[in-house]
Each structure stands twice: as C-alpha cells, then as structure tokens.
Chains A and B, each alone.
Chain A
Amino acid sequence: MVLGIEDPGVWLAYVLSLVSAALCVIFGIANWNKGEEPVKKEDTDWAKEEKTEVEDAL
C-alpha cells in the first residue's frame, strides 16, 4: 500500500507521474546552459517569413 493505494498498477502510475515531472526538471536544470546555438540567417529569415506571411495574414 503506497499513499493509501493498494494496487501497484495504480500507485506506480501516481509515483511515476511525479518522477517523470522531476526528470524533466532535473534534465532541464542540468542542461540549463547547454545547447546554445548561434542564430543563423536561415533562422531569422524563417522568423521574418513566419511573421509576414503566416501571422500577419491571419
């Protein structure tokens, strides 16, 4: 019995929900400063087109 829940099939889901969220937090914080990439011309070109042709059109 964990947290008042008898069936392991259910308390495992309860615990794993918390663990998955914790995993996201830990992974996010551990990689907080990793993965920075220089902005290329294709990135800004994409953003400009997104703005003019998709967003403004809507």
Chain B
Amino acid sequence: MDLISIILVIVYLMVTGYLGYLGYRQTKTAADYLVAGRSAHPVVMALSYGATFISTSAIVGFGGVAANFGMGLLWLTVLNIFVGIFIAFMFLGNPTRRMGHHLDAHTFPELIAKRYDSRLLQVLCALIIFCFMPLYAMAVMVGGAEFMAPIFHISYDSALYIFALIVAAYVIAGGLKGVMLTDALQGGIMLVGMAILLVATYTLMGGVTEAHSALGALKDQVPGSLKAIGHQGWTAMPKFGFAEAGLGPKDGGVAYHMWWILVSTIVMGVGIGVLAQPQLIVRFMTVKSKQSLNRAAAAGGIFILFMTGVAFTVGALSNVYFAQQEQISCQIVDDSALLDPGADGKGKLALVPANASDEIKARAKRFVAFRLPGASDESPLNYVMWTDKTEIARGEGGAPDLLKPRLIAVMRSVGLGTTLQGNTDTLIPAYVRSALPHWFGVLFMLTLLSAAMSTMSSQFHTMGTALGRDVFEQFAHHQHGSKSIHVTRFAIIVGIVVALVLGKYVRGNIIALATAIFMGLCASSFLPLFVFGLFWKRMTKPAAVASLLVGFLTSGFWLLFVNGKTAAGLGLCKAWFGKDNLVPPTWSLTWTVVDPIIVALPLSILTAVVVALATKPMDKAHVDYVFGGPKPPA
C-alpha cells in the first residue's frame, strides 16, 4: 500500500472511531433525538437511511450485473428512487411511524403482531427474517470480499475472513446501535466515492454522449451465449417475449430469458421488495414527524441516484474500458496457459497439467497467465482469456510486460476457478482496480466498507431482535431480560457465521441473485399484510396469516421447483423428482426464468383481499385502537 492509501485508511478509522465515541458520550441515535423531542438534520437522516438501504450488494453485485446486461438495469434505479424513496417516504413512512408509536412496537414482527393481535404472525415473520436474512448479509459480505481481494492482492477466502472480522469488531464496538452521525459519515463517504467514480469514468471515455455511443457500438461483441438469451447490446433492452411452448434451448426456447431475468427478478424483485424490508420499515419509527420525512426525501432521492444510478452506468460502461482501453502492466508468466472447462464445457476452469490427455488439451481454452506488480511470487496468478485481439508487448531490460486483453467485461472475468460464463461479482472491483488510480481503489474500498457496515449492522440488529424479542420472548413469556439478550447476541453470532460460511461456498454470480431472492421473499410474504395493515381497517388476522403463508410458500415452491437457476442450484428438485425443475417439457422454457415475485405477490395480495372479505371483521375496539384510538380494556 502506498502512503496516500495508508493515510486514507487511518483517517477513516480515526473519524469513524471518534464519531462512535461521540455517539456514546452524547448518545445520538435516532431514538435519542426523539426522546429529546427533536429531529435529526434531514441530510443526516437521509444519508443514514440511504447508507442502510444501499450496500456492497447494490454497488458491486448489481453493478456487475449491469456490466453483463447493460444500462437497462437503470430501471432498477428508477424504482429504487420512485418506489424506495418517494412512495416509501411519502405514503408509508408516516403511517408506519404513527402506528408503531401508538402500539409501542419496536420491530417489524412486533408491529404486525400488535396490528393483528396475533403472536403467531410475530413468530412467523421473525422466523422468516432470521432464516433468510443471512442470505442478504452474505451478499453484502461477498461484495466486500470480492473488492478487497484484488486491491490488496489477497485470496478471496482471506478477504472474506478479514471482512467478517471487521464487521464483527464493528458490531461488538456498538455498531448495532445505529449512531446517526456514524451512519451519515458512511453515507457521505459513499456519496463522495460514487461521485468520483462517475466523473472519472465519463472523463476516461471522453464525455457522457461519447461514452454511451462507444458502449452502443460494442453490440457486435456480445458473446453468443448472451445473444442466445436475448442480449442486444449494452445500451439496448433485451428481446422481449415469451418463448413458444415446447421449444428446446437450441430452438429459441431461451430467447427471452434475459428480459425476464432483468425485469422480473432484478427490477421488480428488488425494486418492489425494498418496500417490505423489515430493517428499513423500522427506521420510519425513529422519525419525529412527517415533516422530517418530507425533508429527508429530497436528499434521499439524490443519494440513491448517486449510488445505484452510478453503479449501473459505470458497470455497463466498464465494457468500453475493458474492450478498448485496458492495458495491464505486468509480468507475463505464460502466454499459452490451458484451462479446462470440463467435458460438458460448463465446469469450473482448471489448469491443464502438461501430461494431460490430448482430449482434455483439445477442449481446453488458451489463457494468458500473469502477475501484477507488487504481488508476491506466492500470490495466485491472474488469467485472461486469449483471443485473436489479444496484444502482448514484452518489456525489455527488466521493464514490465504490457498486456492488452481487448475483452468485454464479463469475458474479462473468466479465469481460473470460474466457469466460461465468468463471475460478474468481480467486474466492478476489476474495473476500479484497473482503470482508476490506486488511491481511488483504497478510497472506494472505504466507500464499500461504509456501505457494508451500515447495511450489515441493521441486518444483524434485525436478525438479533427477531430471535430474541420476537421469538424467544413470546415463548418464554417474560419481559425483556438477560436471557433474551443472550438469545439476541446468539442470533447475531449465528447470522455472521452463516453469512460467512455461505459466502465461502457459493462464490460466483451470487450477490444479485441472493439479494433478489431475499427481497422477493420479503415482498411476497410481508408486503400485503404490511400495507393493508396500515391503510385498510377491514383487513383481518386470518387474511394476514393466509397472505403471509401463500406468499411465502408460493415463493419457496417456485424457487425450489420452478425457477431454473435456483431449483438446479438447491438440488432438492433433482433429489426428489430426478430433474432440475418441474416445468413440463411441453411448456415454454420462459417459465423457468419468471421470478417468484411475479406469481407469489399477486397471489398473496389476492389471498389477503379475499380472505379479509370472507372473514369476520376484527373487533371494532381493537381496530379503533390500532388506528389511533384509546387502548381497549384487556
């Protein structure tokens, strides 16, 4: 690490530590402001909310998907801002705050339980949160590790352990309390980091219009595997349609896969799913008034634009850099290393030994193996795929070699240990490391560390209280005591460990998928009972239970038995039925990429409405109480 990098890291840690200390001394969590009857500064509030909302998952994971799928991902930014900020702040925020305070609810499951007078709902909501939130925490952790590994020339596993250690230290040091200034500082760093990234990228490519035009011109370089699923270039939406029933993968049965993945899973799943995120819903309760929400919305919209808008634009534009500008100053170790994708061509690439059979050598792909300056002889080699566009200039007299891969982003990520599909999770890190100065790489790492800390602290807070307050206390039938604190702490430790273990074993194109699964599951299970609970007095307890179960079970069934990628990845369908998914061969293959949310959320809404109208209205005194009236006698 150079001097500037070391100074940056030290200053960051000192300021975070100082603000944490201030937070302890002056006790400035959101609740503290409220106890004092005051409101945090709207910018502080918006930055703090935004930092919780946006994590390494959005920047590294979805930014990487944008590098692969293109700028169509910006529809998610539209939803992030319009749904995640505008609708959430303007329509959901204040009713949530009012109901939360009136019912004295402190967690999302508790709010639901008190709204519907149902302990069962509290436990069900909490168990879903506790069991599935580690998936999202894993996505955030992997995002951090994928970035840290190439910046510091360490292995992915080491980066993952270091990242988990930093997170654990932050949690132990009181990070879960959500000190507003610390969160806001993290949000501020994220804003600066992303703004520099955007300006640097457009500058590198000669301006806004020039950059987009250059990206559009690359459409001829879309790989065949992506063309087959509907990719039409990085500045165009994928082909839209629903494949004819019975067509196989080679007859055009997969021609619309990309549109459905982009729109149903990424844009809808995450864009709508954010409304039902328990850790974000709870934050509305810490606000003083509707006025605070109005003011924070202004800063929030800008913040999210700079987070996901920049990540998706830069992610897509990284193709221009990789295909036209990238020059790697390195030591080339072998310019014709062979990596084998396995007999079916879909396996993880493995180095072909010199004594391998001719068959393996024939199917293997040629790569250039190189070592970056500053990397030790023991550190793993880097690989880029060889094509007829690859240029190599050997350095003379001890000068480094120059390698120009001339590959589009996703092909640039193909290497030892990945499949020939590459790993989109590594694209943003690779772009920042390669295209921008090293000091910015370190600053950007602090950006990501900030993004991860603020999101993970709220995730672990939510997981901890879910098991401690919402499950244990309900069964233990005693007030908040030392035992439930132990359960809360245990839940947090379990959450960190599960996220770490998942991150270690499911590396590769996982960040966006895991995030989308969790958010889709939350939307299908929680959104109808939450929104109807806030606005519809006729909504009943059986309707809430039925809606939650239908949403959750439909999503689960779809993920396990219908969605091609998750069903095959989880393997239960194969084990039970001997095939990768249950979509009959006579049906359209497009069903295998339709996201669960498209089916489960409408079903869950329908169930809520039908059951509510078919069941007896809730006790009027209770409903009056929920909507602001006096508490009925027990």
Contact = CB atoms under 8 A, between A and B. Distances in A.
Given A46-B285, A48-B35, A25 B298 contact: yes
Q: A27, A42, A46: which has the most chain B beta carbons within 10 Å?
A: A46
B565 interface: no
A24 B104 contact: no
The interface size bin for chain B is: 35 or more
Contacts of B20: none
A4 B213 contact: yes
Contacts of B75: 13
B43 to A, nearest CB: 11
B290 A17 contact: no
Nearest to A22: B301
A51 B82 contact: no
Contacts of A44: 34-35, 37
B465 to A, nearest CB: 7
B29 interface: yes
Interface string B51-85: 00000000000000000001110110110011001
Nearest to B35: A47
Contact of B72 (A9, A17, A24, A45): A9
A4 B317 CA distance: 12
A8 B272 CA distance: 23
Contacts of A54: 31, 106-107, 465, 469
Interface residues of A, number: 45
Interface in A1-38: 3-7, 9-10, 13-14, 16-18, 20-25, 27-29, 31-37
B296 A28 contact: yes
Nearest to B299: A28
B360 interface: no
A17 B81 contact: yes
Interface of A: 3-7, 9-10, 13-14, 16-18, 20-25, 27-29, 31-37, 39-40, 42-51, 53-55, 57-58
Interface of B: 27, 29, 31-32, 34-35, 37, 42, 70-72, 74-75, 77-78, 81-82, 85-86, 89-90, 94, 100-102, 104, 106-107, 174, 176-178, 208-213, 216, 232, 235-237, 285-286, 288-302, 304-305, 309, 313, 461, 464-465, 468-469, 480, 484-485, 488
Q: Which 8 A-B pairs have the closest CB atoms?
A: A24-B301, A28-B298, A35-B290, A4-B212, A47-B34, A9-B237, A13-B74, A4-B209
14 contacts: A7-B237, A9-B237, A14-B74, A20-B85, A24-B85, A24-B89, A25-B302, A31-B291, A32-B294, A35-B291, A36-B290, A37-B291, A39-B34, A46-B34
